[in-house]
């Protein structure tokens, strides 16, 4: 796991390009503290910088940027190729008969480029990665990213040059960079709580989508053209093909054995490293299954890590400890005080580079920090919910769609329009008057804003659109001033799948997983120089999972049914079977308590109006309702607060930004606790 950055084009002297690359590299030094390197082609105006976290081949033979044996390709690589030994054996027979310089997967990739070309090598590779390859013969730059989006890659034009890097914080180091917030991207953030690819919060900068590669010629760079990214693998096509070719088993036991074999293949491949390896363990199905199969393969106790909270509703540590004791792992747990968690808030803008509002970013960082004290690599269970139907919202959305799809769309639109034409406050007044008449002394059960949210689902054209609306945050994102609405997950091919639940799973795998879950884990872990690996995201397992008929994933109202059957071979059911908790923190009570003063400052009505990004009225309404305890608006408010905190911390050229809103949060938290 490493970090990369670079530039193509622009007018640079040797000193200036070295200075620029050093700044870009320093910005992502946390991704690779073990080594650094720069490669230059001054004639072409090309420079690559690499920061190395040594995992495989710790010797100088793994140093990057690395030049291929032919001298044609120069590579800066972030990630791991799990099947690189197999690729080496195949390449040995066709090209590398004289031996290898080292045993790094970087050298294996370069050999593949020489023999098969870049795109075919990507197709042959199993792993997680982001790469930048300079072709010295064709004078082109290729950027590429892994299939499921575990490793990030940003790019864009700054001051006449093409800049790229593992994180936005590298690109903003370019001299001449002028930050301009993209209000359409901000609107998407307010809907989804993350900025979805290919958008970034800044105009003129983009994220490379998963499973994509993009090629820039020097001529394209001089003209500042934006070539279209090309796909070497399609998640939606893999899903559609899998559903069309379902697996058949003679028994449930045979199906469980089959899944276990595919899981073991992925997990064994991801346990390979020249440094200590461990695993996150929450005590849930996904992480417990990964750890159980790791322990099966290991002659020593696997090192496992979990974070606990004193609030029972958010504490999974007790369950993780029971699983660890049963499996015999070397388990480390850390109970975090509210103060320790709150102290992290000032660091969030630096860790995530752009607004990001998944509250589980806090415990994710804390468990990564804990693990890094003992290991350099940690496996996780990410991907299990999306592949095996684990989210309870799938069942909820499917039930809603089953009820409303029978009603003609025109009639549903008319009903929605009628409900939405009356303000929530007016509905509440009507409820207050009619409730005692209709329900006796009981309160009318549906507040006006919830009725509006339900009405917003009625005119969904299909189950995918309903699911996007159901899981969205601010509805609609026109709370952002000056931004039109744009869908982040439109036209993703989910309509080819036969059931609403499978369509929802695919939407999450393509959008929510890479842009929320994997961003959260990558940035948190890499900020403490920890490599994370997700064996459930091996693309061979992804393709296998889509061949499993749906009743192997969801059965009897329970998700991840077959994955549970595999786990039950190693862990008793009673240690696992419990309601899904998620991986969260008590943001709701913190906002009413130790974070109240900090939040009040960021949500001040005059401040919101003067900054000009949000309409103050709906924000203030949600804030006051939350403070009163009548409603829990923690997630919507966290969206606004995370943008405000990020914006305050990244104001360009402002002396006042030295005293950021995040720093203020720490002061308030210390005073309140």
Assess whether 373 and 418 both reside in one domain. no
Asked, as a colleague might, if the bond just before 65 is cis with ω within 30 of 0, I would say yes
Write down which residue in 503, 534, 555 finishes a domain: 503
Of the candidates 326, 280, 252, 331, the one whose C-alpha atom is nearest the C-alpha of residue 562 is 252
pLDDT of residue 1: 64
What's the pLDDT band for 655 if we cut at 50, 70, 90?
A: very low
The verdict on residue 508 lying in a domain is: no
Same domain, 38 and 112: yes
- Give the per-residue pLDDT at 361: 94
Q: Are 497 and 396 part of one and the same domain?
A: yes
C-beta of residue 272 within 8 angstroms of C-beta of residue 103? no
What's residue 316's pLDDT?
A: 82
- pLDDT mean over 28-43: 93
| Cβ neighbours of residue 430 closer than 8 Å, sequence gap 6 or more | none
Residue 513 placed within a domain: no
The model's pLDDT over 148-195, given as tens digits with 9 standing for 90+, comes to: 999 999 999 998 899 999 999 999 999 889 999 999 999 999 999 999
Q: What percent of the chain has pLDDT over 90?
A: 66
Q: CA-to-CA distance for 552 and 283, rounded, in angstroms?
A: 22
Assess contact for 160 and 98: CB atoms under 8 A.
Answer: no
| Mean pLDDT value of segment 71-100 | 87
Taking only the tens place, the pLDDT of each residue in 36-48 is: 999 999 888 999 9
pLDDT of residue 10: 75
> Can you tell me which residue has the tokens 């031996």?
99
Q: Could you tell me if residue 473 is inside a domain? A: yes
Which helix or strand (DSSP H or E) is residue 491 part of?
Answer: none
Quick one: 375 and 499 in the same domain? no
Is 397 within 8 Å of 466 (Cβ atoms)? yes
DSSP letter at 604?
Answer: -
By C-alpha distance, which of 38, 13, 65 is closest to 175? 13
Percentages (nearest 5) of helix, strand, coil residues in the chain: 50, 15, 35
Gap between the Cα atoms of 623 and 629, Å rounded: 10
Residue 178: which of 207, 203, 153, 206 has the closest Cα? 203
The reported pLDDT for the residue numbered 491 is 47
Single residue among 233, 261, 291 that ends a domain in this structure? 233
Nearest partner of 384 among 242, 252, 563, judged by Cα: 563
Tell me what pLDDT residue 387 has.
97
Whether 581 maps to a domain, the answer reads: no
Residue 666's pLDDT is: 45
In a domain, 319, yes or no: yes
Q: What is the dihedral of CA 1, 145, 46, 41, to 10 degrees?
A: 60
The radius of gyration computed from the CA coordinates of the chain, to the nearest angstrom, equals 25
Residues 81 and 132 in one domain: yes
| 196 contacts 515 by C-beta, under 8 angstroms | yes
- The CATH code of the domain that includes 34 is 3.60.20.10
Q: Is residue 286 part of a domain?
A: yes
Residue 245 CA to residue 237 CA, distance in Å, equals 12
CA distance 49 to 164: 10
Residue-wise pLDDT tens digits, 446-473: 566 677 777 778 888 888 888 888 888 9
Task: Based on the fold, state whether residues 438 and 567 are members of the same structural domain.
Answer: no
Q: Is residue 511 part of a domain?
A: no
Residue 653 confidence class, pLDDT cut points 50, 70, 90: very low
Q: Is the pLDDT of residue 442 over 60?
A: no
Residue 610 burial by Cβ neighbours in a 10 Å radius (0-12, 13-18, 19+) = exposed
| In a domain? residue 509 | no
Contact 376, 53 (CB under 8 A): yes
DSSP strands (E only) in 258-302: 277-280
Residues 340 and 476 in one domain: no
Co-location of 414 and 304 in the same domain? no
Range of the structural domain that residue 635 is part of: 587-672
Q: What are 216's strand-pairing partners?
A: 141
Reported as type and span, the H/E element at residue 294 is helix 285-297
User: Do 266 and 536 touch, CB atoms closer than 8 A?
Assistant: yes
Structural tokens at position 269: 């491949």
Domain count along the chain? 4
Query: What is the rounded CA–CA span in Å between residue 652 and residue 127?
Result: 37
- Answer yes or no: do 457 and 490 share one domain: yes
For residues 436 and 351, which has the higher predicted lDDT (pLDDT)?
A: 351
State whether 27 and 159 are in the same domain. yes
Q: How far is CA 378 from CA 272, 302, 364, 371, in A?
A: 11, 10, 12, 7
> Per-residue confidence at 659, pLDDT binned at 50, 70, 90?
very low
pLDDT tens, residue by residue, 101-147: 888 999 999 999 999 999 999 999 999 999 999 999 999 999 999 99
| Statement: residue 614 has pLDDT above 50 | yes
In a shared domain, residues 302 and 267:
yes
543 and 610 share a domain? no
Does residue 656 carry a pLDDT above 70?
no
Q: Which residues are catalytic?
A: 2
């Amino acid at each position: 796991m490493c970090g990369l950055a670079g530039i193509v084009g622009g007018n640079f002297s040797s000193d200036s390009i070295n200075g620029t690359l050093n700044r870009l590299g320093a910005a992502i030094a946390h991704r690779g503290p073990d080594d650094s390197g720069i490669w230059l082609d001054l004639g072409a105006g090309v420079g690559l910088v690499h920061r190395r976290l040594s995992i495989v081949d710790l010797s100088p033979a793994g140093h990057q940027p690395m030049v291929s044996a032919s001298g044609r390709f120069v590579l800066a690589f972030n990630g791991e190729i799990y099947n690189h030994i197999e690729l080496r054996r195949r390449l040995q027979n066709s090209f590398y008969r004289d031996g290898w310089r080292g045993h790094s997967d970087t050298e294996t990739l370069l050999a593949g480029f020489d023999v098969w070309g870049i795109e075919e090598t990507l197709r042959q590779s199993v792993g997680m990665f982001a790469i930048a390859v300079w072709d010295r013969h064709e004078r082109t730059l290729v950027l590429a990213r892994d299939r499921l989006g575990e490793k990030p890659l940003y790019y864009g034009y700054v001051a006449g040059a093409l800049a790229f890097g593992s994180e936005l914080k590298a690109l903003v180091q370019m001299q001449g960079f002028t930050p301009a917030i993209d209000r359409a991207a901000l609107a998407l953030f307010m809907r989804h709580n993350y900025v979805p690819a290919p958008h970034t919060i800044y105009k003129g900068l983009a994220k490379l989508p998963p499973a994509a590669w993009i090629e820039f010629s020097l001529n394209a760079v001089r003209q500042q053209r934006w070539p279209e990214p090309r796909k070497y693998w399609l998640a939606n096509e893999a899903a559609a093909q899998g559903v069309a070719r379902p697996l058949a088993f003679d028994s449930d036991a045979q199906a469980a054995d089959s899944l276990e074999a595919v899981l073991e293949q992925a997990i064994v491949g991801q346990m390979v490293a020249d440094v200590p390896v461990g695993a996150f363990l929450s005590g849930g199905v996904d992480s417990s299954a990964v750890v159980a199969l790791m322990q099966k393969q290991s002659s020593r106790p696997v090192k496992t890590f979990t974070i606990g909270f004193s609030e029972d509703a958010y504490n999974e540590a007790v369950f993780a400890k029971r699983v660890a004791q049963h499996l015999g792992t070397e388990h480390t747990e850390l109970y975090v005080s509210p103060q320790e968690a709150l102290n992290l808030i000032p660091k969030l803008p630096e860790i995530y580079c752009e607004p990001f509002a998944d509250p589980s970013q806090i415990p994710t960082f804390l468990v990564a920090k804990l693990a890094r004290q003992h290991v350099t690599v940690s496996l996780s269970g990410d991907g299990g919910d999306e592949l095996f139907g684990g989210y309870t919202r799938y069942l909820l959305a499917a039930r809603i769609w089953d009820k409303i799809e029978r009603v003609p769309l025109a009639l549903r639109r008319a009903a929605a329009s009628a409900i939405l034409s009356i303000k929530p406050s007016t509905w509440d007044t009507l409820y207050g008057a009619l409730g005692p008449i209709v329900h006796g002394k009981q309160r009318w059960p549906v507040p006006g804003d919830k009725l509006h949210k339900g009405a917003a689902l009625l005119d969904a054209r299909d189950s995918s659109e309903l699911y996007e609306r159901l899981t969205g945050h601010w509805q609609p994102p026109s709370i952002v001033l000056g931004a039109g609405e744009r869908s982040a997950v439109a036209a993703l091919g989910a309509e080819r799948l036969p059931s609403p639940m499978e369509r929802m799973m695919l939407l999450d795998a393509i959008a929510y997983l890479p842009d929320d879950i994997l961003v959260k884990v990558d940035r948190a872990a890499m900020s403490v120089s920890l490599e994370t690996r997700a064996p459930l995201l091996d693309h061979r397992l992804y393709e296998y999972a889509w061949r499993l008929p749906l009743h192997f994933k969801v059965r009897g109202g329970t998700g991840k049914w077959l994955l549970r059957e595999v786990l039950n071979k190693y862990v008793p059911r009673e240690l696992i079977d419990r309601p899904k908790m998620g991986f969260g923190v008590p943001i709701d009570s913190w906002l009413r308590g130790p974070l109240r003063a900090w939040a009040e400052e960021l949500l001040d009505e005059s401040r919101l109006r003067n900054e000009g990004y949000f309409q103050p009225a709906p924000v203030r309404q949600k804030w006051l309702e939350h403070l009163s305890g009548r409603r829990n608006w923690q997630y919507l408010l966290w969206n606004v607060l995370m943008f405000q905190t990020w914006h305050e911390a990244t104001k360009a050229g402002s002396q006042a930004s030295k005293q950021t809103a995040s720093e203020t949060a720490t002061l308030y938290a210390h005073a309140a606790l």
